[in-house]
Amino acid sequence: MATVKEKELPLVLVHRPPNFHFPFKHLLQTHFRLLDPLDSDPPESTHSFFSRYAASVRVLLCVDPTPITRDLLSLLQLIVGSSTGVDHIDLQECRPRSIAVTNAGKAFSPDVADLAVGLLIDVLRRVSAGFQYVRAGLWAQNGEFPLGFKSFFSKTMLFFVHFSVKLRRKKPSVPFPWFKNVYDLAVNNDVLIVCCTLTEESRHIISKDVMTALGKERVIINVGRGALIDEKELYEPDVPQELFFLKNVVLSPHCAVATPKCFDALEELM
């Protein structure tokens, strides 16, 4: 039962998977009254829970990429996302309703860059141990070069003698060779690091043609959503199972952002 003081706080509906407990819940509770259907006894479905509070809730806090569909939008004014990608949110339904949608922004960039470089070194030590240098091509989106990658490569990756980037448009502030499309980026580089958001336009952006242009002895590092790559073209017919047995493949769980620094940045942003 909410206290008198808690009832005076703004209401925020929490939307999360059952096995995910966000670490900054207690801090948010000092500023907002959090309504979490999974905290009810017994746990209630998000849809039925929200229907009881729809008239008074204006903000939805989406922890983890939990799908948000049309029937959850109702009278919302704001959806606060805890992930970088927003492909789990029905943006086409949000626009006509004037619902603002936020994401993690650059909160995860430095640690995701660390993992991308770690994966790159891991692969190269197996198949390219004799290389003295590697040219790396990175594809970003929304006209922004990821902060973590820019600082990491410019300060520490001294063995990279060529670095290229694919943005939606050429930017004077980015000091690397620019390519208009991913195919040309693949032709001119040995490594592709994919770190863009998943949209209808970017789905399978790493296609069979791009992989062919990159070549069999080259490397792809994906730190975005899996669907950015047409995985069926990596190995046929059963990609996930077969990849486990390839010596030149490194598989990592979705763990790059599970660091105290990332959670602190996300907490402050949210």
Query: For residue 42, what are the contacts with CB-CB under 8 A and spacing of at least 6?
Result: none
Closest CA to 53 of 7, 97, 6, 11: 11
Catalytic residue (choose from 8, 236, 242, 268) = 236
Catalytic residue (choose from 15, 16, 218, 225) = 225
Catalytic residue (choose from 203, 254, 267, 268) = 254
- Pair 37, 46: CB distance under 8 Å: yes
Closest CA to 262 of 113, 138, 116: 113
CA distance 226 to 223: 8
Q: Is residue 225 annotated as part of the catalytic site, yes or no?
A: yes
Helix (H, G, I), strand (E, B) or coil at 38: helix
Q: Is residue 236 annotated as part of the catalytic site, yes or no?
A: yes
DSSP string, 72-119: GTTT-SEEEESSS--TTB-HHHHTTTT-EEE--TTTTHHHHHHHHHHH
DSSP state of 10: P
Helix (H, G, I), strand (E, B) or coil at 21: coil
Query: For residue 187, what are the contacts with CB-CB under 8 A and spacing of at least 6?
Result: 213, 214
- Pair 63, 43: CB distance under 8 Å: no
Q: Is residue 233 annotated as part of the catalytic site, yes or no?
A: no
Residue with tokens 């990821």: 146
Assigned token pair, 126:
């197996």
Buried b / exposed e along 33-46 (16+ C-beta atoms within 10 A): bbbbbbeeeeeeeb
Report the catalytic residues.
225, 236, 254
